[in-house]
């Protein structure tokens, strides 16, 4: 299989991820914080080490402000439902994944918040001044994706973060498509809440993610339960990260996440990003020479991540992806990509687009195989 669906989840994982998880599962997988024996302490140390690693990687102020989650969706729900109060106003964008949109729309539909959605321009970028113009007296939170999972376009989070701080607002960034391929500094970007998965560009396993909660934020707990410490407290402890981590954490997954982070840091974020962008540019240039293809999103490589979406006049995206899978062993992602608002704006609903997203292990030969397959398919229609 030629796997080109890394924006959904990265595959394969670095060999070190498989090795680390296998070793830990066989020798150290106890319940952290629940017992005093050596295996439990090893599990607790693994979590503490992971928090330190994430804090250093994203330049956080304190390792304890990193709470482990099931995925990015879980982290976003923690943030929205923990930070927002009745009557608050939230600003978001037309680029958002349903992991951002659905919790906010549900809160708005229930009459608990009001919501403004700032549109992206034709190239797939939001204007920070449009965000500023949307701020009102009840605005509490600005929530935007760092990069569109449909168009691959990177958003100006530094400028939006400055606007949020100027107005004393909370700023949330969904880094599902950027954590591991773009440098993110939560302090200089003014980020109060950073949500990201472990299974995409950080190259860890599924079922992992984290939420950074900055010192300006007070959150109600998303889930309540055992933490292994402070068992006498009748309600969830207020100290971080236990405030947000009720129940047994996915220690095995976190060990795999750290092993993925090892690879990312060794290879280098900029080098991985450059490699993926070059592969997307190779595909984009080839599609420009093929009749009947339309590529979406601006072409400026410095403002993109490695995701390229297009449509074919000959076949709708779901059918084209099916042929690529069944006849050429190529894995891509068709459809609406859980981001209906941007597809509506682009006029690409309901069939959506076909998205190609290379990862660090893909090669030029993989892209050439895809180009050859597309040539054969469209030439035969």
Q: Is 36 exposed, middle or buried (0-12, 13-18, 19+ CB in 10 A)?
A: exposed
Judged by DSSP in three states, 209 sits in strand
Catalogue the long-range contacts made by 30-34 (C-beta closer than 8 Å, 24 or more residues apart).
31/228, 31/248, 32/228, 32/248, 32/249, 32/251, 33/227, 33/228, 33/229, 34/226, 34/228, 34/248
What's the token pair of residue 368? 């050439």
Q: Is 37 exposed, middle or buried (0-12, 13-18, 19+ CB in 10 A)?
A: exposed
Residues annotated as catalytic (active site), given as ranges: 338
The Cα 43–Cα 32 span in angstroms is 5
Judged by DSSP in three states, 304 sits in strand
Sheet holding 209-213, edge to edge: 66-69, 209-213, 193-197, 170-174, 139-145, 88-93, 113-118
Catalogue the long-range contacts made by 40-46 (C-beta closer than 8 Å, 24 or more residues apart).
43/251, 46/251, 46/254, 46/255, 46/258
Contact 353, 296 (CB under 8 A): yes
Give the closest residue to 118 by CA, choosing from 149, 72, 155. Answer: 155
Paired with 304 in beta bridges are 153
φ, ψ of residue 262 to 5 degrees: the values are -55, -45
Contact 107, 84 (CB under 8 A): yes
DSSP string, 164-191: HHHTT-EEEEE-TTTBTTB---TTTTT-
3-state secondary structure 110-153: CCCEEEEEECCCCCCCCCHHHHHHHCCCCEEEEEEECECCCCCE
């Amino acid at each position: 299989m030629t796997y080109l669906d890394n924006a959904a989840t990265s595959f394969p994982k670095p060999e070190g991820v498989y090795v680390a998880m296998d070793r830990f599962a066989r020798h150290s997988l106890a319940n952290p914080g629940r017992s005093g024996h050596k295996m439990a302490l090893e599990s607790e140390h693994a979590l503490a080490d992971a928090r330190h690693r994430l804090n250093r990687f994203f330049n956080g102020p304190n390792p304890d402000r990193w709470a482990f989650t099931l995925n990015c969706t879980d982290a976003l729900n923690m943030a929205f439902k923990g930070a927002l109060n009745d009557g608050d106003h939230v600003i978001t964008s037309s680029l958002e994944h349903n992991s951002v949109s659905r919790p906010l729309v549900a809160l708005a539909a229930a009459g608990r918040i009001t919501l403004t959605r700032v549109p992206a321009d034709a190239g797939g970028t939001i204007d920070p001044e449009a965000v500023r113009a949307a701020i009102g007296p009840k605005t509490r939170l600005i929530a935007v994706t760092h990069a569109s999972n449909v168009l691959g376009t990177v958003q100006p989070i530094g400028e939006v973060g400055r606007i949020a701080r100027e107005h004393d607002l909370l700023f949330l960034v969904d880094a599902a498509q950027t954590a591991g391929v773009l440098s993110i500094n939560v302090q200089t970007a003014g980020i109060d809440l950073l949500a990201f998965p472990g299974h995409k560009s950080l190259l860890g396993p599924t079922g992992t993610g984290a939420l950074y909660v900055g010192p300006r934020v007070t959150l109600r707990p998303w889930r309540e339960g055992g933490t292994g410490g402070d068992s006498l407290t009748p309600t969830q402890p207020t100290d971080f990260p236990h405030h947000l981590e009720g129940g047994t954490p996915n220690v095995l997954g976190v060990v795999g996440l750290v092993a993925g982070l090892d690879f990312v840091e060794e290879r280098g974020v900029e080098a991985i990003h450059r490699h993926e962008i070059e592969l997307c540019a190779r595909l984009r240039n080839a599609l420009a020479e093929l009749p009947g293809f339309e590529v979406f999103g601006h072409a400026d490589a410095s403002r993109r991540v490695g995701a390229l979406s297009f449509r074919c006049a000959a076949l709708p995206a779901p059918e084209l992806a099916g042929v690529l899978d069944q006849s050429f062993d190529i894995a891509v992602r068709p459809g609406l990509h859980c981001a209906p608002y941007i597809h509506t704006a682009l006029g690409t609903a309901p069939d959506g687009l076909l998205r190609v997203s290379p990862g660090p292990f893909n090669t030029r030969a993989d892209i050439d195989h895809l180009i050859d397959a597309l040539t054969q398919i469209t030439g035969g229609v």
